[in-house]
Structure 1
């Protein structure tokens, strides 16, 4: 089993990488997890892994129960949070109890936010089962829900006590969800690590055939990139905002499509749009723009889409929680492995990017 330590002082935790759930109960024991647990999952993951994980916990002496909500981004709201909190009360949980988030990014957001507010905060652990959650959302402590057509507008920073990654769960993912996760993986290479970008560019066959050893290596490097950023800027006061590369346009596209496109797909489109803005500003050359597009294409991304009216997409961008003094914040590449932040991207530049990513 591989290990990565996230150094956040008193809120530090380990990320464990495995190809099974066999080591999970010991991992829980190692962090002195309380006996009373609630495994929070969704209706998709419930059928695949909930009983296996819950039975494993019960066999090792934990008083564990499962709470599953209906899968889907449309259920990433306050009703689901109240349902989780209600399950905590019914299970007679107290401030020393713990939530286990078993599932993808939506599950992690829901379980983490519920843990942050139940009894003013209880501990939780992340057991991510999708590439998107393994590569991004399970690490860093961000939790959030959607509200009034704004994505992740309500939430809290609440660090997990442990992240346990079983790469074998990726074999049950639909291909579109694997592609979605690769969006965050590719993003991390572009913003922070050119050697990692080279790795995913040169090892696409092993990655796409879900070779366990390759996936563990990819996940560990990927998480180390995000962990390094989070360690330096836990609450997104500066550096951490580079993790939003592709998200300013991507979130707007996601909303404009009523969440019918995956998050990673939309981030991929947003990365192309942001890279085009950088290219037109002479920050990157055409070969770098093409290379970014080619790697996205290599992993099955649609880098050209039928966008709704530009004003509609732009309107969704105005609801972006990352705005500063009314100005949109963009992360733009200066080369593979390095980016910069700016709030001076004009509406004309944004519309030109929309034209570029439109079929």
Structure 2
């Protein structure tokens, strides 16, 4: 009896095909991100915060080696593929392991004796199981409505990222559905924090959207809006020569939905890391605040990432 191959099976057999999915590798993901944040912090207007995040991400790297999440139920995989829906929407499938990771992060941060962080760390440590689960859901949904949520969100998200990246890393490309729309993560349904044009091997020259929660990347052709999927009115804006800017990071704008999302180019900077470079290009957000375009999604480690109105630098170039 002949077996009919599905699209994912065909791609898996052909090693010359461009990858549709790039699954996270937690062992290197957090190490590379921490190094990039530390590099970008030098002389940066928000250098102190980037240095703090570099320490936080290094703590994520240590915790990543202690986590082992369960494989998803095959029935969930089949259902997601049948209905072209994300495999495990984050806010509906929160592994309890994240709470142990949170405790590890809190211990590491407490050892730094950072007085400014002390109230936040104490509040997170004092939360019971149910309160932490509720916080995780609010963070994942972007509904930071409770007192203290904004301060706690980056640390809670850091713990969640570790377990979601671990779970995604245990999948196979054939497990991951083709989703409709293709503008959310096919694994955890989170919005992409940015996109990145990769270099090397089968991914060379291809643009991938990067999930801010589980770090899965999925291919999307260039000059296509990553928010509404329009191919019309897509343009790029950047900054030249201003302090704290990076010419390898551009804002991809769409005249159809009037949103923008950043794209990092590894061909211009091989060390570009989507989440870290998005944080480090704050000046570009300040420029975009003076345009008709709204940011499509926030950076999960900077809940206040939407820049407030400020005079646009005169160095903007389309």
Specify if TM > 0.5. Answer: no
Structure with bigger helix share is: 1
TM-score by length of 2: 0.28
| Larger RCO (CA within 8 A; separation ≥ 6) | 2
TM-score by length of 1: 0.25
Structure with bigger strand share is: 1
